[in-house]
Structure 1
């Protein structure tokens, strides 16, 4: 078993009353490897100027974590199968809506990876989809969530 950590830090700016709900939502995500990522609420959830649209919001991070995990497993499995991946791009999207209990949730995440293979050995469409299916089955993040996760790969 391994442990993974992140520190999320927010601090009230001088002069903000806080109890009037008019405070800045910008904060920082500090990861164990040293990366610091600016975070904020989504401007669709908390209007400007209290959100920072240039920062990553939790919903975006959730989608990115699923897409990143899938990517990493796909690359591993493709290499293990003898394929050379030259390029992988995923324009993933998450949908925020009400779940079965009526709570706001990311109800669907759709991964749309476009993969370009190099070398002389390239999987056919069925083999390509099988690699994505196997990557999805192995992805720790996908195995950790209850949202529907769709994968719509494209072979470049």
Structure 2
């Protein structure tokens, strides 16, 4: 079977020249824009701990959002294949980065799933592990990602 490769491209542009460039660590802003296909724009900056702008997405948040979104998309796909009808899905993931080592050391997904009344919560819960094993983003990372999800049914 031939390989099926997916290619991605974005354009990142630094917006933080305050008139003197990177003359010193505090002489420039960390803001940037990322432009993708179909005119999508994302406003980014560094983590505020590194002089970034709090109202912009930082790379660390984007990494965590990517993990969460990839898991969610696989999970919904697997639920549909299994005949489980998900009517609500939310996640409030957290991650920890060790500044000294310069690496993320862990992430925890906390998906909350609501099924229709006839949905099987045990099956729905078990599909998180399979979704995690299929997630392209999680498979590309070198730190532990745990899943502590909850599943409930809507009232009959």
Give the distance between the partners of 1:110 and 1:134, measured in 2 at CA.
16
Matched, 1:18 2:52: no
Partner of 2:141: 145
Partner of 2:121: 124
Give the distance between the partners of 2:128 and 2:38, measured in 1 at CA.
28
- SS of the residue 1:96 aligns to: strand
* 4+ runs deviating over 3 angstroms: none
Deviation of residue 103 (structure 1)?
1.9
Deviation of residue 12 (structure 1)?
4.4
Partner of 1:36: 41
CA RMSD of aligned residues (A): 1.5
Give matches, 1:45-64, under 5 Å: 46-47=50-51, 51-64=52-65
Deviation of residue 6 (structure 1)?
1.7
Task: Give the TM-score, by structure 1 length.
Answer: 0.88
Q: How many residues align?
A: 147
- SS of the residue 1:95 aligns to: strand
Q: Which runs of 5+ in 1 are unaligned?
A: none
Deviation of residue 147 (structure 1)?
1.2
Which has a greater percent of helix?
2
Deviation of residue 31 (structure 1)?
1.6
Give the distance between the partners of 1:58 and 1:122, measured in 2 at CA.
37
Give the distance between the partners of 1:81 and 1:140, measured in 2 at CA.
21
Q: Which runs of 5+ in 2 are unaligned?
A: none
Give the distance between the partners of 1:142 and 1:11, measured in 2 at CA.
30
Give the distance between the partners of 1:17 and 1:142, measured in 2 at CA.
36
- SS of the residue 1:115 aligns to: strand
Give the distance between the partners of 1:121 and 1:33, measured in 2 at CA.
39
